[in-house]
Amino acid sequence: MEFTRARTEAAQKSGSASPEAVRTAEIRLPERQDRPGKVIALLNQKGGAGKTTLATHLAGELAMAGSRVTLLDADPQGSALDWAQRRLQNGQGRLYGVFGLARDSLHQEAPQIALEADYVVIDGPPRVASLARSALLAADLVLIPVQPSAYDVWASHEMVTLIAEARVFRPQLRAAFVINRRVVGTVIGREARAALADQPFAALHAEVSQRIVFADSVAAGRLACEAAPKCAAAREIAALAQAVQEMLQ
């Protein structure tokens, strides 16, 4: 959506802007206080952390609570778009819009999209630092999904560095780890939380476990709460959404 370009062309036609002002409008970041929606980016430079599952479920939980939600698939693999397509093919009703936006103009376009939404959820890419930086400049809150393993905790260092760089320009940017795919009945989750204690921001108390219903939901294009409304996975996602809303207050 070329919102900035559309406004620029309108100004040119009306004669209300000089060439210099037009050039400035094309590159200036949107004024963030003018938009009501909150932008939540799920980012991790390490693949396989479960970003797409968390993004689709978090967006769904917020939408089912009555919020206007848009999910931006910023991963070139397009996994969230695939999920949305499967949902349509299986006759599921649309809960929220899903759009592909895997380009480094996210910091310009996501705030504009948020003008028409209560929440914009960004499913970020792995191993694409330029896209991650753009998502960070757009976000009010960044969630870093981390699997409970030493390798994943160590790999989070790169993301922490990117957030520190973004805070030079966006000091109000909030960040938190989300322990994801925790194996039920093991102590690994507690060990991961202890390892994350040395990081500059905390891990949310809400954790999401590795459950079959999440894998099934991907294939069916639905949410865990739709497959089994009272299941443990549905409760974990609800707790995650509550924690996210509290951080954004």
CATH code for position 221: 3.40.50.300
In 3D, which of 33, 65, 95, 48 has the Cα closest to residue 244? Answer: 65
The residue assigned the tokens 């989070």 is 156
Report if residue 13 sits inside a domain. Answer: no
Classify 51 as helix, strand or coil.
helix
Report if residue 22 sits inside a domain. Answer: no
In this structure, what token pair is assigned to residue 7? 């406004």
pLDDT 10s digits, 169-209: 999 999 999 999 988 766 666 777 888 888 889 999 999 99
Report if residue 7 sits inside a domain. Answer: no
Nearest-angstrom CA–CA distance, 109 and 134: 10
The residue assigned the tokens 């949902």 is 87
Domain total in the chain: 1
In 3D, which of 51, 48, 70 has the Cα closest to residue 60? Answer: 70
Exposed, middle or buried, 205 (CB in 10 Å: 0-12/13-18/19+)?
exposed
DSSP letter, residue 34: G
Nearest-angstrom CA–CA distance, 9 and 159: 38
Domain that holds residue 129: 38-248
What pLDDT does residue 36 have? Answer: 66
pLDDT 10s digits, 5-40: 333 343 344 444 443 333 333 334 444 445 469 999
Report if residue 138 sits inside a domain. Answer: yes
Report if residue 83 sits inside a domain. Answer: yes
Residue with the bigger pLDDT between 62 and 3: it is 62
Report if residue 64 sits inside a domain. Answer: yes
Taking each helix axis as running N to C, give the angle between helix 106-113 and helix 129-138, from 0 to 180 degrees, rounded to the nearest 10.
40
In this structure, what token pair is assigned to residue 148? 């409970």
Report if residue 123 sits inside a domain. Answer: yes
What pLDDT does residue 182 have? Answer: 87
Nearest-angstrom CA–CA distance, 11 and 217: 46
Q: How many CA atoms lie within 13 A of 147 on its CB side?
A: 16
Contact 129, 101 (CB under 8 A): no
Q: Determine phi and psi for 180, rounding to 5 degrees.
A: -125, 150
